[in-house]
């Protein structure tokens, strides 16, 4: 509000003007105050939402840029095939028996995170992107299509492989078809999905969590293919919100 407007709203020394003559001025002042209040109210939620979006974007980490192997190295498996980047994919060529890739990053979370990736078997009939990932101070592997192509599950729990424990699932994977995988790890739970299907929900606090000796070169986070060719893309990790942690820890009875 400018100086001249303020002087009109304030009575002078000589005489009080008629109330009727002040009404337009008072209405204008009230309008300006109301407009300022409304603007402040509408700006607050927008600012809060923008901060939330910025925080979420900052928390997500893209682990594969689609162009290079920056942040990755070929896993030190015996009889390994080649690891290449082609067409926006990490390509694992068929090994004898295994080919893999492992992250070189040291800033990845160990709990309260979600890992997502897409994978495709390009040749063979066994697992093509078995993902090894942190679970607190240990690691575990989500096998996709092991034991001749039909077993999906976690290796290992209490020393039992994916083919032996309660996470054993039968999923038929078609070659040259992309599948989306999602893993959540909290301080209490490991949960895994293939597409929209949940394949594992394990409360692990009192369990022995570990990897088979064959996949330890994938630690702390990596992918491996057994006598098969595989391709991986869209590898991302992000922290879970408190609400997501609570939802992940809850198991429907």
pLDDT (tens digit per residue) in 68-115: 999 999 999 999 999 999 999 999 999 999 999 999 999 999 999 999
Identify the CATH number of the domain in which residue 204 sits.
Answer: 2.60.120.560
**Is the domain of 179 the same as that of 197?**
yes
Please give the average per-residue pLDDT across 225-252, as a whole number. Answer: 96
**Is the domain of 53 the same as that of 164?**
no
**Is the domain of 42 the same as that of 105?**
no
**Is the domain of 95 the same as that of 54?**
no
**Is the domain of 55 the same as that of 106?**
no
pLDDT value at residue 253: 53
Query: Residue 145 region, left (φ>0) first, then alpha (ψ -120 to 50), else beta?
Result: left
Question: At which of 34, 59, 84 does a domain end?
Answer: 59
**Is the domain of 78 the same as that of 55?**
no
Give the structural domain span for 142. Answer: 63-249
Number of domains in the chain: 2
Q: What is the DSSP letter of 16?
A: P
Say how far apart CA 111 and CA 134 lie, in whole Å: 7
DSSP states of 112-155 = SEEEEEEEEEEESSS-S-EEEEEETTEEEEEEEEETTTTEEEEE
Please give the average per-residue pLDDT across 57-65, as a whole number. Answer: 86
**Is the domain of 68 the same as that of 142?**
yes
Please give the average per-residue pLDDT across 219-244, as a whole number. Answer: 98
**Is the domain of 38 the same as that of 89?**
no
pLDDT value at residue 59: 87
**Is the domain of 146 the same as that of 212?**
yes
């Amino acid at each position: 509000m400018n100086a001249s407007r303020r002087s009109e709203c304030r009575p002078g020394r000589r005489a009080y003007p008629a109330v009727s003559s002040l009404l337009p001025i008072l209405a204008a002042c009230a309008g300006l105050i109301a407009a300022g209040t409304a603007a402040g109210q509408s700006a607050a939620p927008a600012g809060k939402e923008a901060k939330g979006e910025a925080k979420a974007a900052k928390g997500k980490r893209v682990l594969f840029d689609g162009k290079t192997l920056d942040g990755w190295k070929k896993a030190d498996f015996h009889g390994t095939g080649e690891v290449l980047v082609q067409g926006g994919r990490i390509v694992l060529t068929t090994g004898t028996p295994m080919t893999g890739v492992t992250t070189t990053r040291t800033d990845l979370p160990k709990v309260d995170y979600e890992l997502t990736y897409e994978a495709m078997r390009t040749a063979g009939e066994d697992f093509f992107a078995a993902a090894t990932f942190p679970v607190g101070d240990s690691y575990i592997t989500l096998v996709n299509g092991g034991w001749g192509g039909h077993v999906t599950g976690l290796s290992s729990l209490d020393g039992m492989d994916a083919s032996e424990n309660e996470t054993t699932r039968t999923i038929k994977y078609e070659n040259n078809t992309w599948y989306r995988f999602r893993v959540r790890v909290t301080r209490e739970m490991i949960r895994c999905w293939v597409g929209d299907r949940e394949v594992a929900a394990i409360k692990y606090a009192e369990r022995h969590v570990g990897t088979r000796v064959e996949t330890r070169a994938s630690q702390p986070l990596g992918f491996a293919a057994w006598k098969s060719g595989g391709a991986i893309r869209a590898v991302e990790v992000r922290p879970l919100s408190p609400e997501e942690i609570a939802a992940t820890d809850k198991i429907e009875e």
